[in-house]
Amino acid sequence: MSKTFSIGGIHPNDSKFSKDVSIVDLPVPERVFLPMNQHLGIPAAPVVKKGDTVLVGQVVAEAAGFVSAPIHASVSGTVTDVGLYPDFQGKRVQTVVIETEGDDWLDTIDRTAQVKQEITMVPKDTFQKIQEMGVVGLGGAAFPTYVKLTPIEGMNPEFLIINGSECEPFLTSDYRLMLEHGQELMIGAELMRRVLGTGVTGVIGIEKNKPLAIKAMQKITAGYLQWKVVPLKKRYPQGGEKQLIDAVLGRKVASFALPISTGAIVQNVGTAFAVYEAVQKNKPLVTNVLTVTGSDPKIQYNYRFRIGTPIEDVLKTAGALDAEGNLLPHIAKVVNGGPMMGKAVVNMKAPVVKSTSGLLLLTEKETKRLEPGECIRCAKCFQACPMRLQPYLLYQLALAGRTEELDEYRVFDCIDCGSCLYACPAHLPLLDLIRLAKNTSLKNIRKK
């Protein structure tokens, strides 16, 4: 019996079509858009103005608070505008626009492909480097990495869990990273482990549908005494922070508590790789890896992209646009991220950002919602919920607007994983309303 989390979960189709496609570099775009809210927390503050010339890796925005992260230029060229631009959902965000000229990098950045094995930097400097280089969690939430590594009074880290589960269907960028850059991300992980303390045990959790990655990482961790690979049974949402801690350690995070309260800190494999680049190569977070995929066998790729590349440009390279720049007719929806938690793209001129893990192209048949029917109380949503909530009940309460009861039934525990809506045979829009109710509930609780 291999490990997995103890409550709920679903088994959607894997659909990892692009898993055997190597990562290739996307061409440098003509223009990048760097939104200031690429991380959770306070948006960064721009330090460049219209007309400035910048090199790749140069800071264009500083962190504007404790939970914030700086943003670096991902191309070299001229800043053509600093202003409000609609993001991929059409919401207006402060954005720095850079028109590309050449590809000149700051000369402090080591751009060689050689793996720099030996760790020379002391933990304190490592921590500072991670902060300076704008590294954020690349698993989806984009929480500034250094904040997670900051010690909290009374909570001792015991485990650093590297999340290689990639439980979202379709996405393969983490998998490719583990296969192609296993050594590097291992060094990044070790760097973070040293920041947390020498007594911390390192664990890499990988789902069993990725046997090659498990083998590769096991081979690499053989050289690291404090590290081991834990194969996990395939199940969604294994990559959820709470679920992963439960799966690996059998510990559960309480409502409103930080994961560190269980002694565990979770970082994504992508983040580990970014830490490696930041610390060993002195390279800020200006590139990341994303998957462009869908059921169309002609459009299945893994790309290393410059942060701020317009979605249009990525899709064009992938061949998802026709000659006039319109989406191919069979694609009905573009999702930023995975199919379970990703967000639908409205504005294709908006950029892919630090935490973008994939662009998913779905056909109408795959994604269109079916006409909702009556709840037959099959309890499949209840069985699917990894937080042991009763989605059918929360949905009814949310429809009726019974806020107090929603709290009583712990709507605030919802992690937005989408399992309930996925599992409902009556096709009820459970999560739509529960998510809304949860946000209201959290707002009310914070007010108190």
d(CA 86, CA 95) in angstroms, rounded, equals 9
113 CA to centre of own chain: 25
CB of 264 to another protein, least distance (A): 14
Q: Which of residues 121 and 375 has its CB atom nearest to another protein in the complex?
A: 375
Q: Which of residues 90 and 211 has its CB atom nearest to another protein in the complex?
A: 90
Look at residues 407, 383, 384 and name the one whose alpha carbon lies nearest to residue 394. Answer: 407
Q: Which of residues 72 and 380 has its CB atom nearest to another protein in the complex?
A: 380
Q: Which of residues 10 and 195 has its CB atom nearest to another protein in the complex?
A: 10
User: In the numeric block, which tokens belong to residue 134?
Assistant: 């704008």
Q: Which of residues 132 and 413 has its CB atom nearest to another protein in the complex?
A: 413
CB of 372 to another protein, least distance (A): 9
Cβ atoms within 10 Å of 320's Cβ, excluding its own: 23
CB of 369 to another protein, least distance (A): 5
DSSP 34-67: EES-SSSSSPPEE---TT-EE-BT-EEEE--SSS
CB of 447 to another protein, least distance (A): 13
Query: CB–CB of 391/385 below 8 Å?
Result: yes
Cβ atoms within 10 Å of 212's Cβ, excluding its own: 13
Q: Which of residues 298 and 427 has its CB atom nearest to another protein in the complex?
A: 427
Query: CB–CB of 422/10 below 8 Å?
Result: yes
Q: Which of residues 212 and 399 has its CB atom nearest to another protein in the complex?
A: 399
Query: CB–CB of 435/416 below 8 Å?
Result: yes
User: In the numeric block, which tokens belong to residue 135?
Assistant: 């590294």
CB of 340 to another protein, least distance (A): 4
Consecutive H or E run containing 172: none
CB of 417 to another protein, least distance (A): 8
CA angle, 440 then 441 then 447, to 5°: 90
At 290, phi and psi to the nearest 5? -135, 160
Q: Which of residues 46 and 338 has its CB atom nearest to another protein in the complex?
A: 338
Show Cβ contacts of residue 74 under 8 Å, excluding neighbours closer than 6 positions. 32, 34, 56, 98, 286, 287, 306, 307, 308, 309
CB of 231 to another protein, least distance (A): 24
CB of 396 to another protein, least distance (A): 11
Look at residues 89, 35, 37, 34 and name the one whose alpha carbon lies nearest to residue 67. Answer: 37
